[in-house]
Amino acid sequence: MVREKIAFVNQKGGVGKTTTAVSLAAALGRQGDSVLLIDLDPQANATSAAGIGEVVGPSIYEALMMEVEVGECVVRVEDEQFDVLPATRELSGAEVELASAMAREQRLKTVCEPLSAKYDWIFIDSPPSLGILSVNALTAATSVVIPVQCEYLSMEGLARLMETLALVRVNLNPVLRTLGLVLTMLDQRTRLAREVAADVRTHFPDQTFNTVIPRSVSIAEAPSYGQSIFRYSPESRAAIAYRRLATELTERVGVSA
């Protein structure tokens, strides 16, 4: 049985959604959990970061359009020990095609149902918008993790995201809970970064994960080699931080389940 289906969301781009989803998938996969990473962003960054250079079989797009059975789209990433439901650029068409579809918000949840029994964790990487794809991620998920970049804080942006989560709970997915906010890209040397981190903790005291992800050159480089941080630079500070975040995530899921 799936323990948790987590959507990584924030309508702001470049905050660390993909990096966090891929790194946690790799951390938990390496410790022996079965993990599926669903790439729900037409930019397909999670797919390439997982080491899938070219998607040869069907992708999440074909699964959402119900052209193929979802299991046929799953790709095993042996080096990282997790599975991926890859995306391609074609996925951008789904925004338009789903717009007029029946039960459009539930499409991902419906098509992924056959996979639920196979995994301990299903992670959904979502695009930088609050459009129909992100709403599908929030409807299919049991919880959300919100990466927040320490270099720049938009409290209005976070407030809008919280409103969207509340709307999704009322209308589509009452069980959706917020597991927490993850502070990413912290550069301890800059005052702004430390202030942003402190502000987030003040506004979301119980919801902010203790683990903070430091700014790291290694983790910015790893995706271009199609490797997780644990292959690319296993002893780096970012690898240590993401390992610790995986432990904290497991504890939170257990505690609040």
Binding site for ligand ADP (CB under 6 A): 13-19, 45, 128, 184-185, 213, 215-216, 219-220, 223, 238
Q: Which is closer to Mg ion, CB of 17 or CB of 215?
A: 17
**Position of minimal CB gap to Mg ion:** 18
Q: Which two tokens stand for residue 154?
A: 């938009």
Among 10, 11, 20, 45, binds Mg ion (CB under 5 A): 45
Q: Which is closer to ligand ADP, CB of 58 or CB of 222?
A: 222
Binding-site partner at residue 192 among ligand ADP, Mg ion, none, CB < 5 to 8 Å by type: none
> Which residue in the block uniquely carries the two structure tokens 């359009």?
65
Binding-site partner at residue 213 among Mg ion, ligand ADP, none, CB < 5 to 8 Å by type: ligand ADP
Binding-site partner at residue 155 among Mg ion, ligand ADP, none, CB < 5 to 8 Å by type: none
H or E stretch at 176: none
- In the sheet that holds 75-77, the strands lie side by side as 75-77, 82-85, 35-39, 121-125, 4-8, 143-149, 177-186, 208-214
- From the list 147, 138, 141, the residue with the least C-alpha distance to 166 is 138
- In the chain, the amino acid numbered 65 is M
Binding-site partner at residue 27 among Mg ion, ligand ADP, none, CB < 5 to 8 Å by type: none
> Minimal distance in Å, beta carbon 126 to ligand ADP?
9
CA dihedral for 255, 27, 237, 180, sign (positive or negative): negative
Q: Which is closer to Mg ion, CB of 18 or CB of 208?
A: 18
85/190 Cα distance (integer angstroms): 38
Q: Which two tokens stand for residue 254?
A: 């257990």
Q: Which is closer to Mg ion, CB of 19 or CB of 250?
A: 19
Binding site for Mg ion (CB under 5 A): 17-18, 45
